[in-house]
Structure 1
Amino acid sequence: MLTNSTIVRFIVLSKHRLSSIAAPQMAARQLEWLFLTPQRTSRPEREQQWLQGAVSERITWRDAQQLTLYRWGNTGPKVLLMHGFSGRASQLACYAAPLVAKGFQVLAFDAPAHGESDGVQTSLPEFADALLHVGARLGPLHACIAHSNGAAATTLALSRGLDCARTVLLAAPEDLQGYLQQIGRWLGFTQRAIWACQRRIEARYAVPFSELRGALLAPRLRVPALLIHDQEDQVVPISEGQRLAEAWPHAELLVTQGLGHSRLLRDEHIIERVQRFICATLPQPACA
């Protein structure tokens, strides 16, 4: 028996398929809008608790656009948290208290068009530009902890000079083109419309998707990296994390089971493992 959700999905797929055949350029514009427009959702109670004690401020980015920055602690090596697409800074705020207790200063920001920051649409290149801007403002970073699209943006930002001593990438995607293909097919768009959409996005941000491949950027990176990926991630397949780890000269891949794409962020064992990696190069008793 067909459920309401199955019927709705069939209607959506049929609509996108027909529009792709009848008007592929119009369908490409529609897919572009869907692909670049993040969803803003309210913070659950746990994230509101994690934000307690944080000092927030608004910083100016490009074209007077404002980004919201959060800060925990006032001294110590700086650790920056970077969320993913349709995420928010508070998703990674579970790292703040443990790291502050270890003597770190923890910072996070809502990416363009996310959380409390300005904007309606954004994509990977803009994530990376914003990360470079915030990183330059904050000064040298001891570490960056990033999730999903934020992890891909961190890889790109490191290749463009982000001053960061080590990085932790959680559920990192490696191939933006593959992700667009996956989303486009899932929504029912034809291959012709998907390729047209990619060309539109490449022109919009003045960078071809081929230059954003993590496996092509990683070989020239010398920043030690800890990659953590779950075998059951339904959003970013583990094969992407494996390709990225194989290409990164100083990378370690930790494979988990049963945490999926998002639970990975707040698992206590993962938080402890990340702390050990971040503390590895600091003199004792800084991280005792």
Structure 2
Amino acid sequence: MQKQVLPTSLKVSALLLSVLGKPFPGLAASLFLRLYSTPPKRKFRSTHMEVKNEAKVGEMQLSIYPFRGDQIRLATYSWGQSDKKVLLLHGWGGSPLDFKHMITALVSSGYEVISFDAPAHGFSAGKRTNLIQWMHVMHQVLQQAGPVHAIIGHSLGGLNAALTLVRQEVTVPRLVMISAAVSAPSFFKETYDLFRIPPVVVEKVEQQILKQLHQDLKELDLFLYPQQIKAEKILVVYDENDTVAKPEEINMFLQQYSSISALRINGDGHFRIMKDKVVIEKVLDFLN
């Protein structure tokens, strides 16, 4: 397994959190959550703008959390026109505009692709966001969009989709999880280890999540919900060279879900998988 190394831009933050951790654990926890909930800024290339220009672009005003009444503006996209809709969900720091090859293939096969920039991503409003907000937003999008034939989620978008289908009274015919995270506690732990966050700060982080977001972090884990994802059929696609969504963890998840179809490839890792020809062909075959 490839060991993850902090980029230079985050080493100062890691050092600061380490220094503050023991004398000021509450402050360190607040700084950690602020950093953790701020997605990286994106610069869109001309190829991204081509994908956007081919879309029908719109906006939605949705409530920001289930426990708050204020709203957030989301940028929305649709490609093609069909009774068979596919909802495409990007991951952390991602965009629907990254998935040109998948969108083109779906539209050519007779599907309408709908998507949106998650809060604090792309052309949507907000500076910080989190998985709790993503699940709430996705549920509202499904309510407004009407029935969808399938949801395709990449990375954190896959975990978002699966947890939403566990928690809400929503069922879809097909769910595709591509390079998807399967456990929020697991990737939090990886970040704690990477930043060398002391246990006293970890405890404060999870207390603040519970207080601010009304959510126990430990519950955001698909290992707790075997056979409870409300999709008629599920396909998991992953890459044995992925250093973000760990293949070992996905293998353990698949052992719990004997009914899930799976495709494991030897490709180029976490991000390029969405334009892999074998993956696209498998997804189309699964949706049909």
CA distance in 2, matches of 1:61, 1:13: 34
State the number of aligned residues: 275
CA distance in 1, matches of 2:270, 2:46: 20
CA distance in 2, matches of 1:274, 1:8: 37
1:253 aligns with 2:262: yes
1:146/1:9 CA distance change after superposition, 3 Å:
closer
CA RMSD in angstroms, aligned pairs only = 2.0
1:115 aligns with 2:122: yes
Match of 1:180 in 2: 188
Q: For residue 19 of structure 1, give the secondary structure of its aligned residue in structure 2.
A: helix
CA distance in 2, matches of 1:44, 1:183: 29
Q: For residue 119 of structure 2, give the secondary structure of its aligned residue in structure 1.
A: coil
How far off its partner does 1:8 sit? 6.9
**Letter of the 1:92 counterpart:** F
CA distance in 2, matches of 1:247, 1:52: 42
How far off its partner does 1:143 sit? 0.5
Q: Is the 8 A contact 1:174 1:243 kept in 2?
A: no
Match of 2:108 in 1: 101
Q: Is the 8 A contact 2:239 2:268 kept in 1?
A: yes
1:83-162 equivalent positions in 2, closer than 5 A: 83-159=90-166, 160-162=168-170
For structure 2, the 5+ residue unaligned runs are 1-5, 64-69
Match of 2:174 in 1: 166
Q: Is the 8 A contact 1:35 1:180 kept in 2?
A: no
CA distance in 2, matches of 1:141, 1:88: 20
CA distance in 1, matches of 2:212, 2:99: 30
**Letter of the 1:46 counterpart:** T
1:197 aligns with 2:198: no
Q: For residue 119 of structure 1, give the secondary structure of its aligned residue in structure 2.
A: coil
CA distance in 2, matches of 1:7, 1:109: 31
Match of 1:262 in 2: 271
Q: TM-score, normalized by length of structure 1?
A: 0.89
Deviates more, 1:60-69 or 1:138-147: 60-69
Q: Is the 8 A contact 2:170 2:230 kept in 1?
A: no
How far off its partner does 1:124 sit? 1.1
More helix per residue: 1 or 2? Answer: 1
CA distance in 2, matches of 1:276, 1:121: 37
1:60 aligns with 2:61: yes
Match of 1:211 in 2: 219
Q: Is the 8 A contact 1:142 1:164 kept in 2?
A: yes
Identity %: 24
Q: Is the 8 A contact 1:31 1:184 kept in 2?
A: no
Q: Is the 8 A contact 1:83 1:89 kept in 2?
A: yes
1:35 aligns with 2:43: no
**Letter of the 2:36 counterpart:** F
1:198/1:52 CA distance change after superposition, 3 Å:
same
Find runs of 4+ consecutive structure 1 residues off by over 3 angstroms. 5-14
1:6/1:269 CA distance change after superposition, 3 Å:
closer
Q: For residue 59 of structure 1, give the secondary structure of its aligned residue in structure 2.
A: strand
**Letter of the 2:248 counterpart:** S
1:131/1:174 CA distance change after superposition, 3 Å:
same
